[in-house]
Structure 1
């Protein structure tokens, strides 16, 4: 009898790995979820906190639309300091069913008068500081909320702010937030008004020191409540004077940015070493703008433009579109490598070309988002190894122009200078010394809302997170977004700090349409990980057939190769986090490709999303099981 030779172990392992990869797509579709899908016929509201989701639901119950609900959730999460506050910034995409258009809301603050590279460099800083009065751009969230509400909502400002006002009067604070305040106590104590807000108790173990609220305690913010009352009073006075709904909301807007609230914000900021002037707030404005988009296999994906990082996801989709991602197998070594390399190229472009489109120089958006440029970048992707030297490309020829920054482009380095010099004497107090991972994941929240009339809203607000500098008796915590600027044009000539300029932020809401109708709304908390997570969420649904909850809970990979937008702006080429769901074989294969693979229990990906079921005419909501993300539907 002739015996067949035994397969060699390595050969057998290779065959087994290939077979498992081919099964990965169906396995991904079949995965169980920790949370159920939210099914709604009339409306869906999803955000980062259960109480805030309830605020959105209350607006729907009052007859409001998805914009009203999103504004109420924005106010509630800001009041809860859910990694943002009222002095932060708001970024939104809105689908208007009455016009069939997607509009962007740009409510990102600007650098104040005097904020120049020389100002920070003279104080020994390599980047603007992470925290404190000098880290603040002008407040954007109040203006963004009021403009969205006035232009697209149905309810009054008083109705939409009522949940926030009730919470400012006192809400039971979660253990996670109480612990967060306590852990940041050393920073908070540097500013008297922050101490008063966040540390309401004497510390029984340390006489003379203050302590955070206890978990479950009613956290009261009387100063913030008074500020919100001022906005509602301004609206009521305008209505009593015969103004219409929209005009009355804008009267409240004027009181915040040009009245007594603005005056107190400026006074407190300057008293503690900040640069704000009355003109900085009075001249700032919210922009209702055209978003950018690309088409991926028949789906139109919309993002805000280069003042945030959103176009990087569109660039990555353009690079990946012709490739057989599904055939590679979900989270196989080849799939992960392909994603990583596409992101390398897209984020390298982000790091050099993205900045405020309202000030010169003009970003080469048309070239960056062209399919021809994507094909050129695709050809630069190494087939079998990571490229730690991935660099920005040159999109200018793809919009018929010559690159005016060619010399700077040639000087660009993947790893930016560290910020060891940050914080000369007297300014070190503005630095929290976050770890690289903390900076990379630095926070925000996310908001999705949709209704049966067709309104769809995706919001990624942020800024003013704890430990925030609270501006005097306003109860408003100011933004820390100044740190996302650079001081050296060799790093990014479009994102050098200047008075009146917006920093290039990480905040990136998303909408997708098919055949002109909404298909999904999705965004995610986090910093530089956001468009990594959203890219994978989108592909999980479109390429691998996951439902919205499966895609929201899926264990993503995380690259740290792009330059952080926070703190010391670190870059760690080749560093890759995966979970145990990636097989030992695929992890070993990635190591062979030059990656430094870290296997963690879960990667950071707190996604919220809404999917539109066209067959049934309903909406499906998804919220990750990472933290407190929560939704309500009806």
Structure 2
């Protein structure tokens, strides 16, 4: 077990909050201090993160959450992932002259799901008022917050593009024509007014629940939806395709959608039960990776050694290959999860792991799905070139690292939240006039090829990469964890979880250990490329480990030390002791508690 960590593992008995920004974690803790529970804390933290990290998430984005309610005594999934609009058909997009949905602009927009997801969590699980959870976000939008260096760099890199192509974004992000300097106070008064108006309209009604419902109406059936609809009726903007396009989202799409609650998908592993979203997210990949690794002696491996890295990478290659063929919105496609998570199927998959790195994309064969597998492989053969994009990006305009945010909360009652908000980042599409925020680009997860689980269709949820985690230990709700990172999210969570389970590393130590991920499979983000055998790995690893992995055939890209992953985690012991930790990488994430 590691003796030294970059930070102490936070411990207490009252409550813990871990998020990807120190101010947001403090805001969440404030909600616990004034009598709120874990759900209230998560909602307030989420809204503040939209203000603090606008390059990573926003009000027009999405938010899947895993929640454990002590009162309900079960884990549930809140699906704040909006589906494709009614006008989002393959025929329409092809008529626009594109063969792949761009990673930005208006064609890439689906129904914004984050706001309704947060409101559902607040109404059905929380106990604080709408005002109490919104006021911190309004404060930082109105009075300012210290600009992160990465926010400053992102805006600076996009300044000319915003000026010439997205003038509403230029007005918001470069007030006075200048990008905000790192650590300078940045304000978004228009967003502050949007939330203030939502609150004003909500408080015209009597009662907590009625006010939350009024806020939902204001966003999806009121002035917010109206502003979005008015803008999209005429706006035609440049996107990554190199052409200008109009969007297809309408006020009717927004008015007819609600966030939902569903059962999680779970898998038992060495006394733990891990809960994830269904196959409309990538969460089952982590479960299948565990199913493959279950038959290997992971505990005997050095958690920072080459055998561990090789085994985890090869298991993930197989699980992610299956994701490409079989995953999609289960409301539109039958996903054979009973096979994909079965012992017999994964014994066959495990047998494919040899002493050297696999270079082929090798999805398994599920009876009855052979045609779907063949179609997917033919399509990937056409579109997958060299190089990889594993996070939402406008790399043709600006360097961009990271793609979302994450929150873990546990309160003294034992309520737990793990939520990964994303989308609606400032690079994704132009600011909607009068609202102070932009829309998402999640539709880029769809293919414009008929017959796939991930084929574009109205009402279908995109196969998101967002994948929060909750875990039970010996049947007792015990841990919330997750990370930003697009396709890397489960790739970083997996070694963290294995090191905690098998090597008894505490949360902070497991997070601090060097990280890696593979770029072997097609990325979920435009332009959907892959690097066969590719592994990105931190320079924290000794040279001997890197040399060993190269000798096995892994094609390494070695990044600077402390440059991969933004993991956070929170845990509750059987006696009620609470623990929390957050990555030191990027020097932003913090865990707080008492």
* Same-fold status (TM-score > 0.5): yes
Q: Distance in 1 between matches of 2:170 and 2:139?
A: 22
Deviation at 1:262, TM superposition (A): 0.5
Native 8 Å contact 2:162 2:170 kept in 1: yes
Which of 190, 198, 201 pairs up with 2:173? 198
Alignment of 1:266-277 (within 5 A): 266-272=229-235, 273-277=246-250
Report whether the alignment pairs 1:289 with 2:262. yes
Deviations 1:415-440 (A, max 9, x none): 844599xxxxxxxxx993459995xx
Equivalent residue for 2:241? none
Q: Deviation string for 1:58-115 (max 9, x for gaps)?
A: 2112100000000000000012215111111011000011122000011112222322
Contact 2:85 2:459 in 1 (8 A): yes
**Aligned runs of 1:215-294 on 2, under 5 Å?**
215-239=182-206, 244-272=207-235, 273-294=246-267
How large is the RMSD of aligned CA atoms in angstroms? 2.2
CA offset at residue 135 of structure 1?
A: 1.9
Aligned with 1:169: secondary structure?
Answer: helix
SS of 1:237's equivalent? coil
Question: Which residue number corresponds to residue 488 of structure 1?
Answer: 449
String of CA shifts for 1:503-557, please: whole Å, max 9, x gaps.
1111110001013322211010111111000001100100111110011121111
- Aligned partner of 1:608 among 568, 574, 584: 568
**Secondary structure, aligned partner of 2:487:** coil
Q: TM-score, normalised by structure 2?
A: 0.92
Q: Deviations over 1:241-299 (max 9, x none)?
A: xxx42232112101210112101111112321221112110111101011100000110
Among 9, 13, 26, the alignment partner of 1:37 is 9
Query: 1:622 and 2:581 equivalent?
Result: yes
TM-score computed with the length of structure 1 as normaliser? 0.86
Aligned to 2:277: 304
Structure 1, unpaired ranges of 5+: 1-28, 202-209, 421-429
**Which has the higher mean CA deviation after the structures are superposed, 119-128 or 553-562?**
119-128
Pick closer, same or farther for the CA change 1:332–1:431 going to 2, 3 Å. closer
User: Could you tell me how far 1:179 is from its partner in structure 2?
Assistant: 2.6
Give the alignment partner of residue 419 of structure 2, picking from 449, 456, 459: 459
Distance 1:528 1:606, change over 3 A: same
2:360 is matched with which residue: 389, 399, 412? 389
The equivalent position to 2:124 in structure 1, one of 123, 141, 151, is 151
- The separation in 1 between residues aligned to 2:592 and 2:273, in whole angstroms, is 27
Is 1:408–2:380 an aligned residue pair? no
Specify which of 18, 23, 47 is matched with residue 75 of structure 1: 47
Do structure 1's residue 532 and structure 2's residue 485 form an aligned pair? Answer: no
Is 1:479 the counterpart of 2:454? The answer is no
- List structure 1 segments (4+ residues) > 6 angstroms apart after TM superposition: none
Matching residue within 177, 181, 185 for 2:159: 185
The answer to whether structure 1 residue 161 and structure 2 residue 134 are counterparts is: yes
SS, match of residue 572 in structure 2: strand
Separation of aligned partners in 2, 1:497 and 1:117: 6
Confirm or deny: 8 A CA contact 1:519 1:612 kept in the other structure: yes
**Aligned in 2, Cα 1:257/1:94: closer, same or farther, shift over 3 Å?**
same
Q: Following TM superposition, by how much is the alpha carbon of 1:414 offset from its aligned partner in structure 2, in angstroms?
A: 6.4
- Is contact 1:561–1:573 with CA below 8 Å preserved after alignment? yes
Distance 1:604 1:507 in 2: 17
Separation (CA, whole Å) in 2 of partners of 1:543 and 1:357: 33
Asked if 1 retains the 8 angstrom alpha-carbon contact of 2:24 and 2:45, the reply is yes
Task: State the secondary structure of the residue aligned to 1:534.
Answer: helix
**Structure 2: 5+ residue runs without aligned partners?**
236-245
Tell me the equivalent position of 2:459: 500
Does the aligned pair in 2 maintain the 1:100–1:516 contact within 8 Å?
A: no
Distance 2:434 2:539 in 1: 49
Cα distance in 2 for partners of 1:167, 1:457 equals 23
Alpha-carbon distance in structure 2 between the residues aligned to 1:197 and 1:437 = 20
Aligned residues: 574
Alignment pair present for 1:568 and 2:543: no
Q: Which residue of 1 aligns with 2:144?
A: 171
- In 2, distance between residues paired with 1:258 and 1:590? 55
Structure 1 contact 416–563 (Cα < 8 Å) conserved: no
Which structure: larger Rg?
Answer: 1
Conserved in 1, the CA contact under 8 Å of 2:63 and 2:419? yes
- Residues 384, 530 of structure 2: 8 Å contact kept: no
How far does residue 572 in structure 1 lie from its aligned partner after superposition? 0.4
Larger mean Cα displacement after TM superposition, 524-533 or 593-602: 593-602
